[in-house]
Structure 1
Amino acid sequence: MSNRAVILWLGLAMSSWASLPPASTRAFLKSYCHDCHGEQTQKAERRFDTLRFDLSDRDNLRRWQEILDVLHRGEMPPRKKNVAQPDAPEIRVVVSWLETELPKAYAKLKSTGGQTIYRRLNRFEYRNTIRDLLGINTEFIDPTELFLPDEEEEGLDNIGNALVTSDYTLQQAMAAAEKMIQRATRFGERPKTGRWSFAGPVMKKKGGILTEASRQLNPYDEIFEQAGPAGRTGYVAISDLPEGVPTTGRYRVRVSASSNNQRHPWGEMIPTDQDRASRLGVVIFNAREVQGPRYHASDKRVGEFALPESGERRMVELEVLLEEGWAPRFSWANGPFRAYSSGEKLLKRYYPKLYRERPDRRLGTKAKNEHLREMGRLLIQNNLGPTIRVHRVEIEGPLIDQWPPMGHQLMYGNGEVRSEDIERHLHRFANQAFRRPVPRSEIAAYVDLVRRYEGKGKTATEALQIGIKALLASTSFLHLPELNEKLSDYELASRLSYFLWSSMPDASLFDQAKRGELRKPKTLRAQVERMLKNPKSTAFVEHFTDRWLRLDKIGSMPPDSKTHRLYYTENLDAAMKRETHLFFGHILKHNLDIATFLDSDFTFVNRGLAELYGMPPLEDAELVKVAITNPRRRGLLGHASILTATANGIDTSPIIRGVWLLESLLGTPPPAPPPDVEPLSPDLRGAKSIREQLAKHREITACNDCHRRIDPMGFALENFGPIGEWRDTYPESKSTIDASAQLPTGERYRDINEFRALLLKRKHLVLQQLARRLLEYSTGRILEAADRVDLDHVIETAKKNGGGLRDLIHAVAQSESFRTK
């Protein structure tokens, strides 16, 4: 090799590694790491005796970062017998060297760091964009109902690398576009506002034995039980509105109702809280698909109202959005669950002289039904139990503010569609749909498409609809094109709006982009503040929280309806997610410290969650902020949503909950289990405790290193059952639950409260994980090694500005990663 070649080789070697590690670092690894991560043994698939010092290699850089992280956390070397422990000066030398050299390596890698892949809208973003573009209420109709589920990467469903676009995707996009165009099209005269009035009983047919008996004897409808997924009846629907309302729009609904026998002597058979007011529930449903009294998945609860204990009628009024074919119906929101049935048991218990045994089966069904109707009539005539009565219903609508609607005007303007206006209509629509100024040359092909269909005999309107459908199936609509290394103002507007609203930019963002102001830090900060105050930021609060904390798993394994009836009678699946959404939203609104996620003195509950948590009773189904008096419920770890999402609906597993804590909250996920090791099932047999099973599991060498990190995290939550209820013993074995453990650092805790105190010492890990997730969610890509410098900068910026959640959002929006491709 020539001298020139040697010099060149040396130069390349020196450029890839600024300074070789000191001998003390190599000696440190040999003394304290090689026994577990060396030639003979590679625990957690990590080998350090061959680890190269070339930090220009991303894999090497990631390994060195892992070493620095575990030294910072005090997790390695493991605190075990016969495992040598370094003293503080030895650790300081290695940490100091790594903290000096890793930032240099990140800086060199940054020029070729990760970029956001040209990604398409996910289903959630598509629905919201159609809503805002065409003015369609996507709560009633889902334009993505035939789309395939979005692929996920590390729990996020908006990562460009995972969101592939197939021929099927384009076919479904075309079908959805055609359907949405038709729904947004509103030619013709402004619909007239109609008024309907229905005197009781408003439900002329259907219902159970008691419902039918009551309306034959009384001038009102009577509700005897709570409706819901596990209920058979329980609703009062309007028989004279069998096809629902004729036109989609906003309607005013008035209903006159009263409470009957709130305080009653039949508490033994009809268990109700007689100190709580009976509550009338208002539900909207698809009247064309559902039988009046029965629950259906389309049900949407829109309001609850307390009725006077005195039995005085109350007139309730509310405005609701109703789709064509939908209608309101009414329920007893906090009523008993199947307490009345046909009334036979109540009659036998309280009026034995009136009660008659059922006729012989040989007499047939007709005799049986006649007997049941007679028993029902006798109970209604003598009923001392509680009910709700519906006396009258009035509906007015649609209440229209704008005609033609916004979406129609965007597509067609205000008048008749003329052939000479086709290009103008397409250009106006493309500017909104593509979320940027569109040169007329770009829509020339769409204009030609429309002209061809006009030539084939289509009317100007029909041909224009074909052109708009093509625009809605185009790459520029379905994707978020980011063509510049430094995002343009319009690209930044879209990135910001899909971050905080999961939808397209509004007029204010477009205006700032048009003026070239959006990339200015002050303008960007002002827009973030404005957007967070907008109701559309609910999309961020709910969708990001679901993905960060994996609340999307709730409902995938629902609990047994017999052992966890409260889950169904109080719709806890929705309520528990709502608690965590409101909790996150409150921390964001008030810019509270990140530590609030771990330890808070407040939460949000309704009557169902209050009952589940053992809190003082509440009346309302709406969640309200309450003070936490029992420390076991402080922070996220006391939320039923977290505890349900990390259970299987039947029992709990410290492994699942421990992995969730390490992955979602602390951002220190354990490696995947070896493929040749059998998974450990939850303790369903009651033959031995889950603690004993896990102890045996840790005896397997391949499992020990990971489970000594996982299991102590999960044991802290063992007192919480499958839906977050507190328990002191296991339901099968009746053995007392031991929620104590020792962390790999040697720290011990006795219960959830002491464990939370240990987590607070790791607040910096929660902040780092939350910052990472926010950057990934906002940019649509998983962070890489080269992003570490920007991640650290976001964290330090947030700390400098106060360390609150809102500070962190601003730091993300101002970051280099967010403002570049």
Structure 2
Amino acid sequence: MQIHFCWVIPSLLLSVFATPSSAADLDQILKSDLQPLLKTYCLDCHDASSAEGGVALETPASALAMRKDRETWMRALRQVQAEVMPPSDSLEMPAADRAAMIHLIDEVANSIDCGPNVNPGKITLRRLNSSEYRNTIRELTGVDYTPAANFPGDDVGYGFDNIGDVLSLPPLLLEKYLQAAEEIMGQAIKTAPGAQLFSVQRPGENLDDADKYSKRNGSVRLNSYGEVYLQEQIPFSGQFDLRLTAYGDQAGDEPVKIEVKVDGKLQRIVNVPASDPTVYSVKLKLSKGKHKISFTFTNDFYKPAADGKKGEDRNAAIAHVMLSGQSEVDNSKVVGDLPPSHRKLIFVSPSRDRSPESAAAEVIQRFASRAFRRPATDDEIRRLGMLAAEVRSDGGTFDESIQVAFQAVLVSPHFLYKFEQPRQPDADGVYPPVNAFELASRLSYFLWCSMPDEELFKHAWSNSLHDPEVLAGQVRRMIKDPRSVLMVDNFASQWLQLRNLSKSNPDQSQFPEFDDEIRSLLRRETLTFFAAVMRYDRPITELLDGRFTYLNERLAKFYGVPGISGDEFQFVRFNDGVRGGLLTQASILTVTSNPTRTSPVKRGKWILDNILGTPPPPAPPNVPELERSELTGTMRQRLVQHRDNPACASCHKLMDPLGFALENFDAIGQWRQQQDGLPVDASGELPGGVKITGIEDLRKVLVEQQREQFVRCVTEKLLTFALGRGLEYYDKCAVDKIQNRLVANDYRFSELILGIVQSDPFQKQGVRQ
């Protein structure tokens, strides 16, 4: 097969030899050269009033305005490059006009001064996401806090869940953080040897007798003298902390009141003036045995509407209840050894020569500095020391006082968020770098999804991390460190959409061999393959054409690969001309299929999204999904009919042939030669008339003809993940530089990582434009 393939021309190649024009020159080029072409070939269908396919190309007022809407113009550029636009039933565009439009859109939309004054971009204040929180807690305290996996889900932006713009802090998550701090420090520091810990919690809607009342958003709503309760077997006697999250519909001249009783005996009347969920704390002394803790709404109030005034109705609502405590023990009886985490965190204690205040300050200074990922200030150490002193003044031990101070650290915004100092450019317009501690934190959360380790902190304290040789050495060390698997898991699983594998449910009657174990093994195969390309510093193009993978016995049988035994994953080289690279791995082939059959559309769209970085626009709202349409015939025939709709043709002309090239892989990624008794047709025609058949042709097209587009896609995805923000038009300078570095260094994975961490967006903090 001969391939002459140019349906997506990387804008990098168009602008390599271009000299950035001045703003006035670009505005003139826009007005005199580009606008006439747009008017002739585009605006009849894509002006503001028509906007066919959801694309409006209203003539921009200036080159700057065009760059700010760069995403739309890059989509238009790709369509013109692919010869999809203008459509075949409109005015024909001569080759010279097409080449001119491609060049002009690129020149105006991508012309950026990449000198020393380029804006490195501003990173929004970022909260630790659930994965980063768990990893950081483990590194900081030695406690693997598994309940973090059940925190409220993190929102996703630009394809990733570490994007600052979408990581909010809802009240429920704050409550989880408070609970987590107490439980984590209870495990890390053994304040009373032999003590037992107890904790139980329930949403309001799950309390006993809650079914008698109405429920809303997890809360139970109580009417007149309504009562719900929590009945638990308490394993020991001791002091317990009851946290009641409640609110109410307020009416009349007093707040909602809730009686808290234990076994029918009143313990406290809780005033609930809040109209939104608020935590109220009640101390309870409980003996060992079964206890019923009840909550009764006692002051109902109702005033009907009269004289044109609205009626009033007071009601109570309980959103959540948590009961926790620690058994009473004789502290003089030492039972067992202290956990390693205790000895690591409390490394000095009061003595004849060291006061409790001095010892506490030393312990707190180290913990808070590591938790905040920068030197704790004198004021922070002083205030945490005062908190510890209060505990001791109330009869608590030194270790108990440190435990409480550390709990306060774990709910501090300086722990939960990645703070960075705002910076302004100097008199010459050049942005200064972030400080060494901020760089260490950026580096560790990029490559480990966790806090810096001792070696990174050492280089931050000595201010040597900005040295290019030191930084490169740290990057190579971190890639080889086992903790880099955390980056692989978080980046690769989101880039490749492997998290959707948990939602894929192939039809069991057609695919009985697909079960939860296979689902887990498929995900592990892809992540292990990605990790090998990274750790062994292979060219990133091997993600597409690497003729190897890692399998165990069960997965080898699934693929039909002989000679593999045991549960451990083993290196396997393919020589069949079929398997090799991400596109042939069953994890991705399953994610891009329907439960009963393959989906060429989903597979083609996945390639455009994640391999070429050219996502198609959303389908028009007035066009039904293919599965729900009234089209008839084979899948290929139905897609041909679907493409007859002008609103669908342009995207399907790109997607469908890519997806059909993978038709030899069924809906769970197993190889097939026939479908429904007929030979599989894996042929397709790409824009420009290029014909391909099957995976070999597709792989060759992507690796040989679209290599730069793939490399740019991976660069942009990984840079987005590393920065925790979406890319802006001015990030093109950094992307171009990284891509050129890769071209010059055989596309080695380490060069991609080094290019990112040495780039201005990673090393500096700018402003959002």
TM-score over 0.5 for the pair: yes
Q: Deviations over 1:505-563 (max 9, x none)?
A: 11110111111110121111111001111111111122211011011111212334454
Equivalent-residue separation in structure 2 for 1:39 and 1:468 (angstroms):
57
Residue 127 (str. 1) matches residue 134 (str. 2): yes
Please point out which of 168, 172, 175 is paired with 1:168: 172
Please point out which of 696, 701, 710 is paired with 1:758: 701
Q: How does 1:22-421 map to 2 (within 5 A)?
A: 23-38=32-47, 41-48=50-57, 50-56=59-65, 58-71=67-80, 73-77=81-85, 80=88, 84-87=92-95, 89-105=96-112, 114-136=121-143, 138=144, 141-186=145-190, 404-413=338-347, 419-420=356-357, 421=359
In structure 1, the partner of 2:331 is none
Residue 516 (str. 1) matches residue 496 (str. 2): no
Equivalent-residue separation in structure 1 for 2:86 and 2:107 (angstroms):
25
Q: How does 1:302-701 map to 2 (within 5 A)?
A: 404-413=338-347, 419-420=356-357, 421-485=359-423, 486-568=433-515, 571-681=517-627, 688-701=633-646
Check whether the contact 2:631–2:641 (CA below 8 A) recurs between aligned residues: no
Equivalent-residue separation in structure 2 for 1:652 and 1:425 (angstroms):
59
In structure 2, the partner of 1:386 is none
Equivalent-residue separation in structure 1 for 2:49 and 2:733 (angstroms):
35
Q: Aligned pair in 2 of structure 1 residues 82, 475: CA closer, same or farther (>3 Å)?
A: closer
Q: Deviations over 1:269-328 (max 9, x none)?
A: xxxxxxxxxxxxxxxxxxxxxxxxxxxxxxxxxxxxxxxxxxxxxxxxxxxxxxxxxxxx
Task: Give the structure, 1 or 2, with the largest relative contact order (CA under 8 Å, sep 6 or more).
Answer: 2
* Amino acid corresponding to residue 63 of structure 2 in structure 1: D
* Amino acid corresponding to residue 817 of structure 1 in structure 2: P
* Amino acid corresponding to residue 460 of structure 2 in structure 1: A
* Amino acid corresponding to residue 463 of structure 1 in structure 2: S
Check whether the contact 2:191–2:399 (CA below 8 A) recurs between aligned residues: no
Please point out which of 743, 746, 750 is paired with 1:799: 743
Q: Deviations over 1:322-352 (max 9, x none)?
A: xxxxxxxxxxxxxxxxxxxxxxxxxxxxxxx
Q: Deviations over 1:758-802 (max 9, x none)?
A: 222111111111001111111111111221222111111222233
Q: Aligned pair in 2 of structure 1 residues 75, 764: CA closer, same or farther (>3 Å)?
A: farther
Q: Deviations over 1:674-704 (max 9, x none)?
A: 2232222289x99732222222222233222
Check whether the contact 1:103–1:789 (CA below 8 A) recurs between aligned residues: no
Check whether the contact 2:436–2:461 (CA below 8 A) recurs between aligned residues: yes
* Amino acid corresponding to residue 166 of structure 2 in structure 1: A
Equivalent-residue separation in structure 1 for 2:67 and 2:87 (angstroms):
30
In structure 1, the partner of 2:660 is 715
Check whether the contact 1:118–1:160 (CA below 8 A) recurs between aligned residues: yes
Check whether the contact 2:510–2:596 (CA below 8 A) recurs between aligned residues: no
Check whether the contact 1:665–1:766 (CA below 8 A) recurs between aligned residues: yes
* Amino acid corresponding to residue 743 of structure 1 in structure 2: L
* Amino acid corresponding to residue 720 of structure 1 in structure 2: F
Q: Aligned pair in 2 of structure 1 residues 109, 658: CA closer, same or farther (>3 Å)?
A: farther
In structure 2, the partner of 1:773 is 717
Q: Aligned pair in 2 of structure 1 residues 645, 783: CA closer, same or farther (>3 Å)?
A: same
In structure 1, the partner of 2:309 is none
Q: Which moved more, 1:440-449 or 1:53-62?
A: 53-62
* Amino acid corresponding to residue 130 of structure 2 in structure 1: R
Q: Which moved more, 1:780-789 or 1:458-467?
A: 458-467
**What is the CA-CA distance between 1:640 and the residue it aligns to?**
0.8
Q: Which moved more, 1:720-729 or 1:539-548?
A: 720-729
Q: Which moved more, 1:633-642 or 1:692-701?
A: 692-701
Check whether the contact 1:566–1:608 (CA below 8 A) recurs between aligned residues: no
1:567 counterpart SS class: coil
Equivalent-residue separation in structure 1 for 2:113 and 2:639 (angstroms):
40
Q: Normalised by the size of structure 1, how large is the TM-score?
A: 0.67
Equivalent-residue separation in structure 2 for 1:557 and 1:102 (angstroms):
39
Q: Aligned pair in 2 of structure 1 residues 147, 797: CA closer, same or farther (>3 Å)?
A: same
In structure 2, the partner of 1:306 is none
In structure 2, the partner of 1:236 is none
In structure 2, the partner of 1:219 is none
Q: Deviations over 1:647-687 (max 9, x none)?
A: 2443322222222111111110011122232222289x997
Q: Aligned pair in 2 of structure 1 residues 805, 36: CA closer, same or farther (>3 Å)?
A: farther
Check whether the contact 2:85–2:650 (CA below 8 A) recurs between aligned residues: no
In structure 2, the partner of 1:737 is 680
2:515 counterpart SS class: helix
Q: Which moved more, 1:709-718 or 1:508-517?
A: 709-718
**What is the CA-CA distance between 1:79 and the residue it aligns to?**
7.2
Equivalent-residue separation in structure 2 for 1:86 and 1:758 (angstroms):
26
**What is the CA-CA distance between 1:639 and the residue it aligns to?**
0.4
Equivalent-residue separation in structure 2 for 1:79 and 1:17 (angstroms):
28
Q: Deviations over 1:556-599 (max 9, x none)?
A: 12334454343338x22222122212211222233222321221
Check whether the contact 2:87–2:650 (CA below 8 A) recurs between aligned residues: no
Identity between Structure 1 and Structure 2 (%):
33
2:136 counterpart SS class: helix
Q: Aligned pair in 2 of structure 1 residues 555, 650: CA closer, same or farther (>3 Å)?
A: farther
Check whether the contact 1:489–1:513 (CA below 8 A) recurs between aligned residues: yes
Equivalent-residue separation in structure 1 for 2:160 and 2:478 (angstroms):
22
Check whether the contact 1:123–1:144 (CA below 8 A) recurs between aligned residues: yes
Equivalent-residue separation in structure 2 for 1:745 and 1:460 (angstroms):
76
Q: Aligned pair in 2 of structure 1 residues 794, 419: CA closer, same or farther (>3 Å)?
A: same
Equivalent-residue separation in structure 1 for 2:64 and 2:754 (angstroms):
31
* Amino acid corresponding to residue 387 of structure 2 in structure 1: L
Q: Aligned pair in 2 of structure 1 residues 659, 14: CA closer, same or farther (>3 Å)?
A: closer
Greater share of strand = 2
Q: Aligned pair in 2 of structure 1 residues 757, 616: CA closer, same or farther (>3 Å)?
A: same
* Amino acid corresponding to residue 132 of structure 1 in structure 2: E
* Amino acid corresponding to residue 756 of structure 2 in structure 1: V
Q: Aligned pair in 2 of structure 1 residues 412, 605: CA closer, same or farther (>3 Å)?
A: same
* Amino acid corresponding to residue 593 of structure 2 in structure 1: A
* Amino acid corresponding to residue 651 of structure 1 in structure 2: R
In structure 1, the partner of 2:755 is 811
